Structure 1
Amino acid sequence: MSETPEKSAKASKSSQAAQPAATDKANSAAKPAKPAPKPKPEDKPFAAFINDDLLPALKQSLTERHQAPISLELVEGDRPVVGGNCWMVQGVLPSDRRFWLCFESDSITSGKTIALAETGSDPSLLESFLIDEKRINLALLQSRLLQRLNGQKWFGGN
């Protein structure tokens, strides 16, 4: 049995009509991919995070509290009070008040300690810093450091 020209035309029309519908379904199923989430500052390498994110944020916060740092830098050297090599955020504030935020290794999740020194004195006490926190991020490091400095009454009376 051979097809009549009418049946052949109907068959080709129905196959053409079916193709756009299939293409529409394929297009709607292939939605554009969501952009990758912006990486968190904490995911950067240690030195990049400290220099690019933490130090500028601290400088701004200290300046807002009328304690613009005279010096604020990341250094590797001898830990205050107890010695031993470590990474430190060293800060010198007006009136020669100094602080050292020490990291046991080049990771923001490593153990941290803090030492403080009033004008004309050397640090005499090394305190644990953020020991109970499971997730360390920029906001937490900044706020707790400022809280600790404020506890010394370095931002005025409490």
Structure 2
Amino acid sequence: MEESKGNELINNNVPQGKDINISPDEKKIKSPKLEDKPFEDFIKDDFIPGLQSSLKKHGLDNSTIVLKEGERPVTGGTCWQVEASLPQGRKFWVCFSSNKLSAQKYFSLAESGNQPSLLESFLIDERKITLPLLISRTLQRLNGQKWLGKN
């Protein structure tokens, strides 16, 4: 209840003489961004399930996607890679030069029964990599190959 005392307005619900500012502990703590998670957790918990869900929406229900550290397609050398096997024997790889989301990324693909023959730079102009960006650009690349439904 508020009452007037001279020119001063007093709120009886707020203790007088107390600071009504919210303490840092009471402030809403921002939850960390998905992209700030450790690399392997982000890829396994967020990117792979999100990509599989998106592929299912395009009729690619029987896809297998795994994260592994192994030999980079085409050029060799060790790297982290998301390897996907799609229906009709098609495969693609999203490679990371290290276990950081900000690392250089490469994309490679192979038609049924063939080995990959080209390793392309991937997401080179992007300053900030987010989950939606990584998924959408992967789908965009597959769509460019005409692997996603009818074009």
Alignment TM-score, normalising by the size of structure 1: 0.82
How far does residue 35 in structure 1 lie from its aligned partner after superposition?
1.5
CA 147–23 in structure 1, closer or farther in 2 if over 3 Å, else same: same
Return 5+ residue gaps in structure 1 as ranges: 1-19
Q: What is aligned with 1:29? A: 21
- Identity %, equivalent residues: 49
How far does residue 155 in structure 1 lie from its aligned partner after superposition?
1.0
Please give the alpha-carbon distance, in whole angstroms, between the structure 1 residues aligned to 2:44 and 2:147. 24
Please give the alpha-carbon distance, in whole angstroms, between the structure 1 residues aligned to 2:102 and 2:21. 42
Q: What letter is aligned with 1:128?
A: S
Q: What is aligned with 2:129? A: 136
Greater strand share, structure number: 2
Please give the alpha-carbon distance, in whole angstroms, between the structure 2 residues aligned to 1:152 and 1:135. 25
How far does residue 26 in structure 1 lie from its aligned partner after superposition?
1.3
How far does residue 49 in structure 1 lie from its aligned partner after superposition?
0.3
Please give the alpha-carbon distance, in whole angstroms, between the structure 2 residues aligned to 1:114 and 1:108. 14
Calculate the aligned-residue CA RMSD, in Å: 2.1
Q: 1:5-154, aligned counterparts within 5 Å? A: 23-30=15-22, 33-154=26-147
Q: What letter is aligned with 1:144?
A: R
Deviations 1:11-67, CA, capped at 9 Å, x for gaps: xxxxxxxxx899334152346732211111100000000000000000100011101
CA 63–27 in structure 1, closer or farther in 2 if over 3 Å, else same: same
Alignment TM-score, normalising by the size of structure 2: 0.86
Determine if contact 1:74/1:87 at 8 Å carries over to the other structure: yes
How far does residue 69 in structure 1 lie from its aligned partner after superposition?
4.1
Return 5+ residue gaps in structure 2 as ranges: 1-11
Between structure 1 and structure 2, the one with the greater Rg is 1
Query: Could you say what secondary structure the match of 1:28 adopts?
Result: coil
Please give the alpha-carbon distance, in whole angstroms, between the structure 2 residues aligned to 1:129 and 1:52. 21
